Amino acid sequence: MDCSLYIHFPFCVRKCLYCDFNSLAGSTIMPEEYVMALVREMELRAATLAAPVTAPTLYIGGGTPSLMAPELVKRVIDGARRWYGLLPVAEVTLEANPGTVDLKKLAGYRAAGVNRLSMGVQSLDDAMLARLGRVHSARQAMEAVAAARGAGFANLGIDLIHGLPGQTTAMWRDDLMRAIDFAPEHISAYGLSVEEGTPFHELARAGQLDLPDEEIGLEMLEMTPEVLGQAGYDHYEISNFARSGFRSRHNQVYWRRGSYLGFGAAAHSFLREEGWGRRWHNPDRPAAYMPSLADGLPPEEEQLVLDRRDAMAESMFLGLRLLEGVELSRFREEFGVTVDATYGAEVASLKVSGLLELAGDRLRLTRTGLCLANQVFQAFI
């Protein structure tokens, strides 16, 4: 069975003001100690699998995994090879933050087996980066990209965020154009989401976060595929754009409901092997995640065994994230029933609203639907 792998490294230099990811700043846990736990979890989990697996992708995310020394990254990759059949042609991605990498470290990652970098640039405007609480400047982002190329990375992704406080459409266009100048193979462009528990949420409640209004937000969403399309990037998922042959193989596993195993604090897993599949996740905090491993048990916080209805809903709201949409004949083959018979009323209403459209054997989001995707997904949950 093909099974992708995800590794979560939850530590950061400091917490960005908008961040609600599972990440910690100022932890006293040493990276070596955490990686020891990770490798132990990989070994223990492999022993619980019904049959050996083959890993076509490995993604090391965070947090800030580029705080890890290359030797630690190598230990993780070696574990993936040893226990999960990580293929020699596998896509091996590491998330890196400018300000935490240099040429030597990046060359070390390359030598360890990383062949794709996802660079958390977020903005190329220094004032905005300071406002977000990022640890790096635009210049450091530029230097990190140059160093990545120098270290031999031929598959480089850049993450950007739009809808930032005080951001105008002209500023967002400028960020996009400057990112295009770096000539990355992949660009992710996410809209800022202000989440409870973050300093940005407090500022918003106090009326001190001047977010772009809805109209400007929509203009940014519409402008993004236009600008990136003109530069040769193919829009293949709501927030993701790639040059030909450089779509994220790992993330497509999530959207296509492929199997993956997650290791580390807060990591999520999904295996399709039993019935309609099983999802679980590890404890959120490293301090809760690490002790059970010392006792020789793979940690597991919560488990959800999917029924047919859950699996059908997932196929819709995950599949619709991809611009190509949901393949209707495949849905019928997998579930023995048509999309029409299952979601006829929802689909009809979303078509009338101009959010979904039929293209041959596929149901997909329209241009308007792409901007209001969460509203569409709600219909299937």
- Give the interface with ligand SF4 as residue ranges (CB under 6 A): 12, 15-16, 19, 21, 23, 62-64, 97, 120
For residues 23 and 57, which CB has a smaller minimum distance to ligand SF4 in the complex? Answer: 23
Please give the single-letter amino acid code of residue 152.
Answer: G
Q: What is the 3-state secondary structure (H, E, C) of 102-126?
A: CHHHHHHHHHHCCCEEEEEEECCCH
Kindly tell me which of 95 and 327 has the beta carbon lying closer to ligand SF4. Answer: 95
In angstroms, the CA 357 to CA 352 distance is 9
Q: How far is the CB of 38 from ligand SF4 (least distance, A)?
A: 17
Nearer to ligand SF4 by C-beta: 25 or 69? 25
- Shortest separation between residue 46's beta carbon and ligand SF4, angstroms: 28
Q: How many residues does the chain have?
A: 381
Q: How far is the CB of 118 from ligand SF4 (least distance, A)?
A: 11
Q: Is 9 or 84 the residue whose CB approaches ligand SF4 more closely?
A: 9
**135 neighbors 97 (Cβ within 8 angstroms):** yes
CA distance linking residue 346 with residue 21, whole number of Å: 32
Residue for token digits 């047919």?
A: 308
State the nearest-atom distance from the C-beta of 134 to ligand SF4, in Å. Answer: 7
**Complex with ligand SF4: residue 21 or 276, whichever CB lies closer:** 21
Residues paired with residue 14 on neighbouring β-strands, in sequence order: none
User: CA-based Rg of the chain, rounded to a whole angstrom?
Assistant: 21
Question: Least Å distance between CB 131 and ligand SF4?
Answer: 13
- Distance, in Å, from the CA atom of 67 to the CA atom of 355, rounded to the nearest integer, reads 42
Cβ neighbours, 10 Å, residue 56 = 19
Distance between CA atoms of residues 337 and 346, nearest Å: 16
**Cβ proximity to ligand SF4, 164 vs 376, nearer residue:** 164
Please name the residue that has the structure tokens 């039993």.
274
Minimum distance from residue 135 beta carbon to ligand SF4 (Å): 7
